[in-house]
Amino acid sequence: MVTGVLSEVRDGIAIITLDRPRHRNAFTGDMGRRLGALYREFDADDDVRVIVLTGTPPAFCAGADLTAGADTFAEAGAGFTASPVDPPAFRLRTPVIAAMNGHAIGIGLTIAMQADIRIAADDAKYAIPQVRRGVIPDAMSHWTVQQIAGLAAAADILLTGRTFDGQEAARLGIASRSLPAGEVLPAALEIARDIAVNVAPMSAALSKRLLWDTAMNGFTPEEVADHETELHHRVMGGEDAAEGVRAFLERRLPLWTASVSKNWKELPWD
């Protein structure tokens, strides 16, 4: 059993916790492999509607484990990868929320940038400081930060390696919102519960894939319109499309039946 990453499933929500509190959840290769394995496992499980990634207080993830000192970034071997979490969160069909309930430094922030939604802690420290350590940012952050916050913010954050707090993270667009540290995980779970109950799983999966694939493939507005039409043909006339309207009109919670794991089809643009 790999230590450093915990997981549990409650009411349709998979909670993954980075758990090395004595080291402020400093990231190791084993943790990256375990996180990728859990992503794959939960993405294939219809009982998991949302994934929440968080850290055992007082940090979310303080970055790479530096216990090797000056040898931490020794010459990369043949198996080295700058993206140790495979698949990244944006490749999943399941929505992923990063509850950054404490400091998120280096890879701690860059893996959070792969999530769909991020919540920061007001007074926590956030940075992608690799350029100050003689290396460069990782985990596809040259793409994710720019896509999420724009080129100006990405250049500011990646090229300076500077530290900022949660409130500035929200202003920059790095985080969706910033809250007192103790409120970050409860807020993430509240969002997750809303998605798990009220959002049709297939609709969420298709919308997420189109959202991120538009960024990756550079679809034009007209191409997006075509793909939205194609995906509407998949869901319209289905039981969940009827159930969503019935539940709304009857003022009750919906009972979704479509199975993402069983009914998923290759996307038109794949």
For residue 96, list its beta bridge partners: 51
CATH topology (fold) of 5-195: 2-enoyl-CoA Hydratase; Chain A, domain 1 (3.90.226)
Residues of each domain in the chain carrying CATH 1.10.12.10: 200-263
Number of alpha carbons in the 13 Å side-chain half-sphere of residue 232:
6
Q: Which fold has domain 200-263?
A: Lyase 2-enoyl-coa Hydratase; Chain  A, domain 2 (1.10.12)
Exposure pattern of 246-259 as b/e (b: 16+ CB <10 Å)?
Answer: eeeeeeeebebebe
pLDDT per position as a tens digit, 192-245: 999 999 999 999 999 999 999 999 999 999 999 999 999 999 999 999 999 999
Rounded distance between C-alpha atoms, residue 232 and residue 112, angstroms: 30
The yes-or-no verdict on residue 70 having pLDDT over 70 is: no
pLDDT at 185: 98
Tens of pLDDT, residues 10-39: 999 999 999 999 999 999 999 999 999 999
pLDDT band at residue 79, thresholds of 50, 70 and 90?
A: confident
Which ranges in the chain are annotated with CATH 3.90.226.10?
Answer: 5-195
Cβ-contact 43, 92 below 8 angstroms: yes
The residues, ordered by sequence, that sit 6+ positions from 6 with a Cβ below 8 Å of its Cβ are: 16, 17, 19, 56
pLDDT at 100 over 60: yes
The torsion angles phi and psi of 178, rounded to 5 degrees, stand at -130, 135
Q: How far apart are the first and last CA of the chain?
A: 36
